[in-house]
Protein backbone atom coordinates (compact mmCIF):
# COMPACT_ATOMS: atom_id res chain seq x y z
CA UNK A 1 0.00 0.00 0.00
CA UNK A 2 1.33 3.40 -0.99
CA UNK A 3 0.59 6.05 1.65
CA UNK A 4 1.99 9.45 2.48
CA UNK A 5 3.39 9.93 5.99
CA UNK A 6 1.41 13.15 6.36
CA UNK A 7 -1.22 15.09 4.47
CA UNK A 8 0.56 17.53 2.10
CA UNK A 9 -0.64 21.12 2.47
CA UNK A 10 -0.30 24.09 0.14
CA UNK A 11 0.45 27.58 1.37
CA UNK A 12 0.90 29.52 -1.90
CA UNK A 13 0.32 29.13 -5.64
CA UNK A 14 2.12 31.05 -8.40
CA UNK A 15 2.35 30.69 -12.16
CA UNK A 16 4.87 31.22 -14.92
CA UNK A 17 4.23 30.89 -18.66
CA UNK A 18 4.08 27.09 -18.61
CA UNK A 19 3.72 25.91 -15.02
CA UNK A 20 1.75 26.17 -11.82
CA UNK A 21 4.04 26.30 -8.77
CA UNK A 22 2.63 25.10 -5.46
CA UNK A 23 4.58 25.98 -2.34
CA UNK A 24 3.95 23.42 0.41
CA UNK A 25 4.00 24.10 4.13
CA UNK A 26 7.01 21.77 4.55
CA UNK A 27 9.13 23.98 2.26
CA UNK A 28 8.90 21.93 -0.94
CA UNK A 29 7.82 23.58 -4.17
CA UNK A 30 6.03 21.53 -6.80
CA UNK A 31 5.98 22.57 -10.46
CA UNK A 32 3.09 21.21 -12.54
CA UNK A 33 2.70 21.85 -16.29
CA UNK A 34 -0.40 23.94 -17.03
CA UNK A 35 -1.11 21.46 -19.83
CA UNK A 36 -2.28 19.06 -17.07
CA UNK A 37 -5.17 21.44 -16.31
CA UNK A 38 -6.75 22.92 -19.48
CA UNK A 39 -8.97 25.34 -17.53
CA UNK A 40 -5.90 26.94 -15.96
CA UNK A 41 -3.93 26.78 -19.22
CA UNK A 42 -6.66 28.67 -21.07
CA UNK A 43 -7.41 31.14 -18.25
CA UNK A 44 -6.17 34.72 -18.04
CA UNK A 45 -3.48 35.37 -15.43
CA UNK A 46 -5.93 37.41 -13.36
CA UNK A 47 -8.26 34.36 -13.24
CA UNK A 48 -5.40 32.05 -12.20
CA UNK A 49 -4.47 34.42 -9.40
CA UNK A 50 -7.99 34.20 -7.90
CA UNK A 51 -7.46 30.86 -6.13
CA UNK A 52 -8.58 29.71 -2.70
CA UNK A 53 -6.57 27.28 -0.57
CA UNK A 54 -9.21 24.99 0.90
CA UNK A 55 -9.30 22.19 3.46
CA UNK A 56 -6.52 23.68 5.53
CA UNK A 57 -4.19 23.48 2.54
CA UNK A 58 -5.25 20.11 1.11
CA UNK A 59 -7.06 21.58 -1.89
CA UNK A 60 -6.90 24.40 -4.42
CA UNK A 61 -10.04 26.01 -5.84
CA UNK A 62 -10.77 28.52 -8.60
CA UNK A 63 -14.42 29.54 -8.31
CA UNK A 64 -14.69 31.42 -11.62
CA UNK A 65 -12.97 28.58 -13.50
CA UNK A 66 -14.87 25.78 -11.69
CA UNK A 67 -11.52 24.08 -10.98
CA UNK A 68 -10.70 22.02 -7.89
CA UNK A 69 -7.34 20.33 -7.40
CA UNK A 70 -6.22 18.04 -4.61
CA UNK A 71 -2.69 18.73 -3.39
CA UNK A 72 -2.24 15.02 -2.68
CA UNK A 73 -3.26 14.20 -6.28
CA UNK A 74 -0.69 16.72 -7.58
CA UNK A 75 2.06 14.93 -5.66
CA UNK A 76 0.87 11.64 -7.16
CA UNK A 77 1.10 13.09 -10.70
CA UNK A 78 -2.64 13.11 -11.34
CA UNK A 79 -3.81 15.83 -13.74
CA UNK A 80 -7.26 16.89 -14.94
CA UNK A 81 -9.74 14.05 -14.43
CA UNK A 82 -12.71 15.74 -16.09
CA UNK A 83 -11.77 14.65 -19.60
CA UNK A 84 -14.03 11.94 -21.03
CA UNK A 85 -12.45 8.50 -21.22
CA UNK A 86 -11.30 7.42 -24.68
CA UNK A 87 -13.21 4.62 -26.28
CA UNK A 88 -11.27 1.52 -27.28
CA UNK A 89 -10.90 1.05 -31.03
Stated pTM of the model = 0.82
Euclidean distance between CA atoms 25 and 9, whole angstroms: 6
Q: What is the number of domains present in the chain?
A: 1
Long-range contacts of 34-37 (CB under 8 A, 24+ apart): 36/79, 36/80, 37/67, 37/69, 37/79, 37/80
Largest separation between any pair of C-alpha atoms in the chain: 45
pLDDT single digits (tens) 18-54: 999 999 999 999 999 999 999 999 999 999 999 999 9
pLDDT single digits (tens) 56-84: 999 999 999 999 999 999 999 888 866 55
CATH number, domain of 35, equals 3.30.2020.40
Is 62 among the domain residues?
yes
Query: So what's the pLDDT on residue 18?
Result: 96
Is 29 among the domain residues?
yes
Amino acid sequence: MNTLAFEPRAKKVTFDMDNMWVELTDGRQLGVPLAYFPRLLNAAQVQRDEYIISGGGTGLHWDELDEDISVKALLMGIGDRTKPARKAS
